[in-house]
Amino acid sequence: MTSLSRAGIVGVIVAVAAAVIYLAVFSGGSGGPAGGGASGQARAEKLFSGLMNLERFSASGGSVRWESAEPLDGGGVLIRKLRIEGTDWDGRPTTLSADEMRVRRIDWDNVGMSPYGDVEIRGLTAVNGRIAAFTAATGATDFVADLKARWDWKPETRVAEIQAFDLTVRELGTLSLHARFHDVDLAALQEMQPGGDVDPAFALGLMAGAKIGGFEIAFADRGAIDKLAAKRAEQTGLSKKQVIDRVVAGLAAQRAHQPLDIVRRAFDALIVFVEKRGTIALKAAPKRPVPLLRLALTGRSSLAGIDRLARELGLTVEAR
């Protein structure tokens, strides 16, 4: 069970979510006009034009299709029976499908890097070798998810907010993210889009000035712990309770050797989470925004530096 911990679950969920958001929204290209009185078909084509025009995607035989697309009031679109076929970063065949994708709000003039959005995807499935292995290892019978995402960037304040990012894997749980960033120069990033290529060094330079205003990352258990414990019990001949007890004992032993207070509190929360299920959440509530670059360079910091950063961010970990 420890090899497929909360980190493993969250890692796979985040990978799928990132792929969906990128393919569905941020890969949007120029296409034709899609706002105003445009048809649902025109809006759907606009969303996926960037993906369909990618050389790697087309070279791999990638395809995007849907059963129907209808316009929504306010300039949105409802796409039913969406199916995207292609390959992942390692060249493995991958298929993403969704019962429906509802885009309520998007900047049709800049789909590739929209400053705001409201997207909901229901009945999302991902067919891929890694996903299949993950599903089997967790004891889940299938990988079906629902996603809700809302974000907004205010050019006058340069504050970006992820108002909601909720990905629910129906048999496992819900990963949620809420965040606020200051001094985000999205306009400069948008200007790089028409050329098609983004210089990573330039993009990193732009983001170096960004600051963390606060965030919460949470995972709400909806069967993940029980399924992982049952799978491990089946493999070892132990009871599910014995598996849980061993995991808790292992976490307690690791906690005893942690030099940082925030890490010890994280282990305390993990123990409660494993014992009682519920939700585990990592929160940052700094008194003033903290440079994002500080977080990126944490790996090179001393223990004292990491502890200072945790205090500046106002980090807390809780199980509820």
Tens-place pLDDT, residues 127-141: 888 888 888 888 888
Give the dihedral sign, CA 12/18/20/23.
Answer: negative
178 & 267 share domain: no
pLDDT at 110 over 60: yes
What whole-number percentage of the chain has pLDDT above 90? 58
In this prediction, residue 305 carries a pLDDT of: 84
Boundary-marking domain end, from 184, 205, 221: 221
- Is residue 306, in this structure, part of any structural domain at all? yes
Q: Which of 221, 250, 278 is the last residue in one of the domains?
A: 221
The mean pLDDT of 86-107, rounded to a whole number, is: 91
User: Average pLDDT, stretch 207-217?
Assistant: 90
Residue 36: per-residue pLDDT? 56
Please tell me which residue, 245 or 303, carries the higher pLDDT value: 245
Residue 1 lies in a domain: no
| pLDDT of residue 146 exceeding 90 | yes
pLDDT of residue 132: 85
Is 61 found in the same domain as 194? yes
CA distance 279 to 269: 10
Compute the chain's Rg from CA coordinates.
21
Instruction: Convert the pLDDT of each residue in 221-232 to its tens digit.
Output: 999 999 999 999
Same domain, 181 and 275: no
Q: Is 38:69 a contact under the CB 8 Å cutoff?
A: no
More confident residue, 13 or 76: 76
pLDDT of amino acid 11: 47
Q: Which of 187, 221, 255 is the last residue of a domain?
A: 221
> Is the confidence at residue 58, as pLDDT, over 50?
yes
- Provide the β-strand partners of residue 79: 69, 101
| Per-residue pLDDT, 88 | 82
Q: Determine the pLDDT at residue 26.
A: 46
Lowest-confidence region among 7-21, 34-48, 166-180:
7-21
pLDDT band at 80 (very low <50, low <70, confident <90, very high): very high
The verdict on residue 12 lying in a domain is: yes
Determine the pLDDT at residue 65: 95
Task: State whether 281 and 267 are in the same domain.
Answer: yes
Q: Where are the alpha helices (DSSP H) in the chain?
A: 6-21, 40-53, 55-59, 129-138, 186-192, 200-208, 224-236, 240-255, 261-276, 292-296, 303-313
Shared-domain flag, residues 204 and 101: yes
Q: pLDDT at residue 209 above 90? A: no
Cα(293)–Cα(212) distance, integer angstroms: 10
pLDDT category of residue 200 using cuts at 50, 70 and 90: low
Residue 3 included in any domain: no
Is there a single domain that holds both residue 185 and residue 232? no
Domain that includes residue 288, residue range: 224-319
Same domain, 154 and 114: yes
- Give residue 206's pLDDT: 66
Reported confidence tier of residue 120, pLDDT bands at 50, 70, 90: very high
* Within a domain: 77: yes
CB-based contact 168:176 (threshold 8 Å): no
Q: Is residue 107 part of a domain?
A: yes
The helix (H) or strand (E) run that includes residue 211 is: strand 211-221
| Number of separate domains in the chain | 2
Band (92; pLDDT cuts 50, 70, 90) = confident
Residues 53 and 154 in one domain: yes
Domain contains 229: yes
9 pLDDT higher than 50: no
**What mean pLDDT is predicted for residues 103-114?**
88
Residue 5 has pLDDT above 50, yes or no: no
> d(Cα 210, Cα 289) in Å, to the nearest integer?
9
How far is the C-alpha of 247 from the C-alpha of 225, rounded, in Å? 11
Give mean pLDDT, residues 269-280. 96
**In angstroms, rounded to a whole number, what is the distance separating the alpha carbons of residues 257 and 250?**
12
Amino acid at 152: D
Residue 103 and residue 25 share a domain: yes
What is the structure's pLDDT at 12?
46
Same domain flag for 157 and 253: no
Q: Residue 124 forms beta bridges with which residues? A: 145
Is 123 found in the same domain as 38?
yes
Q: Does the pLDDT of residue 28 top 60, yes or no?
A: no
297, part of any domain: yes
One domain, residues 155 and 256: no
For the chain, the average pLDDT equals: 85
More confidently predicted of 1 and 258 = 258
Q: Would you state the pLDDT for residue 55? A: 83
